[in-house]
Amino acid sequence: MQKTRIKGLTIAALGVLFITPDALLVKITSVKPEVFLFWRGVLLAISFYAISWLRYRTGLAQEIRHCGWKGLFCAGAFAVSTLGFVMGMKNTAAGNVLVILNTAPVIAALIAWLIWKETLPLRTWVIIVVCVTGATIMAIGEWGRGDPFGLVMAAVAAIALASNLNVARSKPGADMSVMLMFGALALAGVAALAGGAQIPDARDSFFIALLCLVFLPVACILIQIGPRYIPAAEVSLMLLLETVVGSFLVWLFLNEVPPALSLIGGVIVFSALASHGWIEVRRYRLSVRKLG
């Protein structure tokens, strides 16, 4: 069991590592949100299909059927969380969005407890509280007023993310990552209806392709697989690391110096997650010694 947890934490951490350039590459592009969402959906759908086909070949159709209605839910929740995040960023201050999104681990834990009666150990709750506090401190530095619609969409994104990971967790025998291609297609369809089916210039096309054909496909698949091995709340918890590393990359490449509170909050989040990983590795080593 402990070996499975280590595997799940490693998969989720690798997924977060690949998703960290997201904020940087989004900021570099200058296209409208609906155009960005359209190409994000189209390119991700292609990437998800290619990766899934390479993994399952002729067994892909069977794997999709095995996901059932829960797979369709995960696909829809993936599209909704992406839409909610982008629309939240567009309609309110980034700090407002981050504060709300940082509640995803708590929402995931509550959903798991209420619906599937899955509980978390006290040490995990402590890490969640510390990380959410640190991430909120980071966001306070950018706190500002905005359209209430943006706050609602950020809340929708957090709930959709937490729900997606919980439903994936409820059927660990199925690989829900094969359903992400359908969520990406739905995202592209909605963006197209909003007028996003436009061709960006060469510079923006390069960065969008780099993000959606290289970084995001690997990241999303690993994050979607994570709940097969660890609770959805812990996968959501690992995603807080993206806030820290993503902000650092923006600082490094675009010289957007974060406020002091962001640095303090980032240190808290990083330290808490590092401690969590160290504790789990130590527990695994102790379990191996006992078995030996």
Question: Lowest mean pLDDT: which of 65-74, 227-236, 265-274?
Answer: 265-274
Q: Which range, of 11-25, 138-152, 177-191, 215-229, averages the lowest pLDDT?
A: 138-152
- How confident is residue 24, by pLDDT bands cut at 50, 70 and 90? confident
| 226's tokens | 């994570």
Helices (H), 171-259: 180-193, 202-210, 216-225, 232-254
Buried b (16+ CB within 10 A) or exposed e, 206-229: ebbeebbeebbbbbbbbbbbbbbb
Stronger pLDDT, 163 or 95, i.e. the higher one: 163
pLDDT tens, position by position, 169-181: 999 999 999 999 9
The least confident of 119-128, 132-141, 203-212, 215-224 is 132-141
Structural domain containing residue 255: 2-291
Question: Does 257 score more than 90 pLDDT?
Answer: no
Please write the tens of the pLDDT for every residue from 129-157: 898 888 788 777 666 655 678 788 888 99
Please give the share of the chain, as a percent, with pLDDT higher than 70. Answer: 93
Averaged pLDDT for residues 181-197: 96
Residue 118 in this model has a pLDDT that exceeds 70: yes
Confidence of residue 195 (pLDDT cuts 50, 70, 90): very high
Contact in structure between 122 and 263 (CB atoms under 8 Å): no
Identity at 134, one-letter amino acid code? G
Range of weakest confidence among 102-106, 175-179, 201-205, 227-231: 102-106
Please count the structural domains in the chain.
1
Q: What is the largest CA-CA distance in the chain?
A: 62
* Distance in angstroms (rounded) separating the CA atoms of residues 146 and 141: 15
Residue 221 binned pLDDT confidence (cut-offs 50, 70, 90):
very high
Question: pLDDT confidence of 279, banded at 50, 70, 90?
Answer: confident
3-state secondary structure of 242: helix
pLDDT on residue 165: 94
Of 67-71, 129-133, 253-257, where does the model show the most confidence?
Answer: 67-71
pTM of the model: 0.85
Q: What tokens appear for 230 in the block?
A: 């660890």
Range of 69-78, 94-103, 129-138 with top mean pLDDT = 69-78
Please state, in angstroms and rounded to a whole number, the distance separating the CA atoms of residues 61 and 196.
30
Instruction: Decide if 60 contacts 178 (C-beta within 8 A).
Output: yes
Q: What mean pLDDT value characterizes the chain? A: 87
